[in-house]
Chain A
Amino acid sequence: MAFKQHSVLPGFNLALGYTLLYLSIIVLLPLSALVFKSSHLDLAGFWHAVAEPRVVASYKLTFVASALAASINLVAGLLIAWVLVRYPFPGKRFIDALVDLPFALPTAVAGIALATIYAPNGWIGQYFEPFGIKIAFTPIGVVIALTFITLPFVVRTVQPVLQELEKELEEAAASLGATRLQVFQRVILPTLLPALLTGFALAFARAIGEYGSVIFIAGNMPYVSEITPLMIISKLEQYDYLGATAIAVVMLGVSFLLLFVINGLQWWSAKRLGRRR
């Protein structure tokens, strides 16, 4: 098989050549510098850097908080998408646009705003303070920040699928005597599943790497509320370049893995949709 199938359109060599060159300079070369640098460590040294208890605690927090935030958005995102597609209400266009706010609002701004609101004397934090619940500067704060940052993902992946969902299926199920809840569970949910999972995975991937919004609200207690990107910064501040690089390589590996999962999910999703059409 030839590298490229024949086409009458011109510009393939130029476009692909430029794409590869630019990709190499901006993305691949710097990332290979990272991997190259980490190869200065032998396996034991690498393991020591990435499996140190404090770093392991940060993985746990990062993964658990990211998973929680993505789960919250799985439910809330489905709800918001559902309401936006199915129910009429005033100001809908505005709300629809507002959902993308976390994409547009710089993370540092989100960080200081959330820290201010959820501090014990903040707008929302003050109502939790009497019950002894602290949000800002605890792992709960991390989950809140990540929930904010990843809010649009599930909404935006589920919304288009929900829009294209054929009413006939629901009608058929209903006429066969299914209750509304059964229709939702047996007909709607399975159709939405690939999109939901894609949204979840996108949100999870984004949450794991997030830094700007989290550091302001996390409190950064060792073993309790330090996220993994902060460990990289902390290693750098102790002049431990190799340690920082090793943790960065681990994170890069996780990013790659998640990307493949997401691509797989999108492919599954597309196949699902294609079959239904």
Chain B
Amino acid sequence: MAGASNNVHRSIVTTESRSVRWLLTGLALLFIALFLVVPLASVFYEALRKGFGLYFQALVEPDALSAVKLTLIAALISVPLNLVFGVAAAWAIAKFEFRGKSVLITLIDLPFSVSPVVAGLIYVLMVGAQGWWGPWLIEHDIKIIFAIPGIVLATVFVTFPFVARELIPLMEAQGSEEEQAAMTLGASGWQTFWRVTLPNIKWGLLYGVILANARAMGEFGAVSVVSGHIRGETNTIPLHVEILYNEYNFVGAFACASLLALLALVTLALKSFVEWRAEKQAEAARRDATE
């Protein structure tokens, strides 16, 4: 973005004529309006078309509230788990050289490209009644699939790479000189991590957490396969949206959908803020380095 303002002062040969600029900007904005703004607006429009009263009624309905609760539980468990994993994986991968590193990175990326439906299916095959451990689990009366643990597992799977993916390139770029300096000055490993590494990566970490959280709360395909759709019990908000939609309760469906859309907007705002802070931090670091 910084580059944009510089361009104005340059000679005209490296930019386009005013009309071309307008045309391209217009086209880009039109595309964004058609593909992003219109769908977003339609969610709120459909949710509110019968008035605020019905809208709020749909949101405080017990089944909707329990869906919100379950969604929060799933996100609150899966995001911290993947946060700890992301930091551990990034530490091992970015700070050390070892064989098989690129294979490990590829495996960490795998959940990104596995279809959510496949992600749900694998847990059915593993812990479903007809699956690997199904009979044992039933015998010991441990409920995983069609209960909260199954939903959490599927959510953990689909949000698996987010934090690690943000941290690995960041920590690789930062190198390990600062940590080595701290160690030589006598700091312990944990002290080094808490006082040196963590402050350096906190914005990247937050960025990953925000993205993982958005995905965790919005996951549909994988959770749908393992949920069992028990009303007020194992429905997350996206599943509740589908059920309401299939019951012709469009106001209710879009009201719950608007909650998720609001979450998406908050996510985008937070993300922009974090990016802005990260940029500032990087600039400050650069300034310190040159002084």
Taking beta carbons and an 8 Å cutoff, which residues of A are in contact with B?
A: 1, 3-5, 7-12, 14-16, 18-20, 22-23, 26-31, 33-34, 36-37, 76, 79-80, 82-89, 92-93, 95-110, 112-114, 116-117, 123-124, 147-148, 151, 163, 167, 170-171, 174-175, 180, 183, 205-206, 208-212, 216, 228-229, 232-233, 236, 241, 244-245, 248, 251-252, 255-256, 258-260, 263
Contact = CB atoms under 8 A, between A and B. Distances in A.
A236 B31 contact: no
B261 A108 contact: no
B4 A85 contact: yes
Contacts of B260: 105-106, 109
Interface in B1-48: 1-8, 10-11, 13-16, 21, 24-25, 27-29, 31-32, 34-40, 42-43, 46
A255 B1 contact: no
Nearest to A256: B110
Given A86-B15, A117-B38, A211-B116, A30 B123 contact: yes
B125 A34 contact: yes
Q: Is the interface of B mostly helix, strand, loop or mixed?
A: helix
Given A28-B107, A97-B268, A109-B261, A8 B180 contact: yes
A103 B115 CA distance: 15
Contact of A212 (B16, B114, B221, B265): B221
Contact count band on B = 35 or more
B151 to A, nearest CB: 14
Sorted nearest first, the 10 A-B pairs with minimum C-beta distance are A106-B218, A209-B115, A212-B220, A174-B13, A104-B264, A10-B189, A30-B122, A211-B221, A15-B92, A4-B98
B276 to A, nearest CB: 9
Contact of A16 (B38, B92, B126): B92
A14 B198 CA distance: 17
A9 B176 contact: yes
17 contacts: A5-B96, A9-B176, A9-B192, A19-B104, A22-B85, A31-B110, A85-B4, A93-B272, A98-B36, A99-B36, A105-B218, A113-B40, A167-B6, A174-B13, A206-B112, A259-B113, A263-B105
